[in-house]
């Protein structure tokens, strides 16, 4: 059975702003106002609680675990909002999942948007509730670069499907003239690794695995990838697409993340490609659907097409 597709948004739909992860820098009233203006500019209503973020209430995150849990459960289950958009990634979302496991899955899927630490929630709703979702910039990223919203708007309103060209083949299997049709699953590499041996472990069988990462040195990228390899995550997958791997540079100023990714690609028998326009770079972070059937055209001119709305 395929995943449940979220409904396309319409003008004046309510979007619940969630903050399950790290604190948001800056003046909070100003951040809240900019959030409402950003979504208001495309016709959506951002619903954001005044006490959503209380710095200092939790050692690492925006608010207490109890508050974040209750707020997130309400966002998933209330009947007023049509989407859930994370204000920031960072750290903390995975700690809420044991409480999400205890609730009855909502009958109607909502559109979940975000990336980075929100990978934990993407994996949970895709694996446990069979929901589709959208790997996309978080609100804090949009505040910094509102132009990123231009790529998201036609997707969430069902006006446009996704078509990305110039994916870079990284191994021989990716250079073959072949088309793979499968769902995409994944997100942030370290969170995907965190999912191993949990109830929300990445379910990669017959899927295309997407991975991106930020601020890691080359050997850490290599270590995480080989952990996934030894855990069998790549065994029955259809392909791997690396997004942007934003490095922490070595002491000599070199970047070993890209070589680590390229070397790892040669170890896999399934196609591995690179598309460096999805990730933490504020200049570009294109949306990517999870749980929708996508078509990956391999070869020297590799392309990815995802059918959000079959009518477009």
Task: Name the class of domain 14-156.
Answer: alpha beta
What per-residue confidence (pLDDT) applies to 185?
98
What per-residue confidence (pLDDT) applies to 41?
97
- In a 10 Å sphere around its CB, with 0-12 CB exposed, 13-18 middle and 19+ buried, how is residue 129 labelled? middle
Tens digit of each residue's pLDDT (9 = 90 or more) over 246-269: 988 998 999 999 999 999 999 999
Tens digit of each residue's pLDDT (9 = 90 or more) over 102-148: 999 999 999 999 999 999 999 999 999 999 999 999 999 999 999 99
Cα 310 to Cα 123: distance, rounded to the nearest angstrom: 24
**Do the first three CATH levels of 14-156 and 162-306 match, i.e. the same topology?**
no
Q: Domain boundaries in the chain?
A: 14-156, 162-306
Cα 233 to Cα 223: distance, rounded to the nearest angstrom: 14
* Of 17 and 311, more confident: 17
Tens digit of each residue's pLDDT (9 = 90 or more) over 70-82: 999 999 999 999 9
Cα 308 to Cα 312: distance, rounded to the nearest angstrom: 8
Q: Provide, rounded to the nearest whole percent, the portion of the chain with pLDDT above 90.
A: 94
Quote the mean pLDDT of the chain: 96
CATH topology of domain 162-306: Glucose Oxidase; domain 1 (3.50.30)
- In a 10 Å sphere around its CB, with 0-12 CB exposed, 13-18 middle and 19+ buried, how is residue 165 labelled? exposed
Cα 220 to Cα 6: distance, rounded to the nearest angstrom: 35
Residues noted as catalytic: 116, 212, 280
What per-residue confidence (pLDDT) applies to 1?
44
Tens digit of each residue's pLDDT (9 = 90 or more) over 147-179: 999 999 999 999 999 999 999 999 999 999 999
Do the strands 111-114 and 81-86 form a parallel or antiparallel pair, or are they unpaired?
parallel
């Amino acid at each position: 059975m395929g995943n449940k597709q979220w409904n396309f948004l319409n003008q004046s739909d309510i979007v619940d702003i969630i903050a399950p992860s790290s604190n948001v820098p800056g003046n909070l009233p100003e951040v809240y106002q900019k959030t409402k203006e950003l979504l208001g500019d495309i016709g959506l209503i951002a619903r954001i609680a005044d006490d959503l973020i209380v710095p200092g209430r939790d050692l690492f995150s925006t608010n207490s675990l109890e508050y974040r849990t209750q707020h997130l459960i309400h966002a998933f289950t209330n009947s007023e909002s049509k989407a859930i958009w994370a204000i920031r990634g960072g750290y903390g979302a995975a700690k809420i999942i044991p409480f999400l496991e205890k609730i009855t899955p909502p009958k109607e899927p909502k559109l979940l948007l975000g990336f980075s630490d929100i990978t934990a929630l993407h994996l949970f709703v895709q694996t446990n509730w069979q929901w589709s979702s959208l790997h996309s910039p978080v609100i804090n990223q949009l505040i910094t670069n509102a132009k990123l919203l231009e790529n998201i708007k036609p997707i969430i309103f069902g006006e446009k499907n996704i078509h990305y060209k110039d994916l870079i083949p990284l191994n021989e299997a990716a250079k073959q003239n072949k088309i793979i049709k499968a769902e995409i699953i994944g997100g942030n590499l370290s969170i995907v690794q965190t999912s191993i041996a949990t109830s929300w472990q990445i379910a990669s069988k017959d899927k295309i695995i997407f991975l991106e990462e930020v601020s890691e040195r080359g050997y850490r990228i290599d270590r995480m990838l080989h952990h996934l390899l030894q855990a069998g995550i790549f065994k029955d997958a259809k392909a791997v697409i690396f997004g942007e791997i934003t490095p922490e540079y070595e002491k000599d100023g070199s970047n070993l993340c890209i070589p680590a990714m390229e070397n790892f690609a040669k170890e896999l028998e399934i196609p591995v490609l690179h598309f460096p326009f999805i990730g933490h770079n504020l200049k570009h972070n294109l949306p990517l659907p999870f749980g929708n059937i996508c078509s990956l055209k391999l070869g020297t001119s590799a392309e990815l097409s995802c059918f959000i709305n079959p009518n477009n």
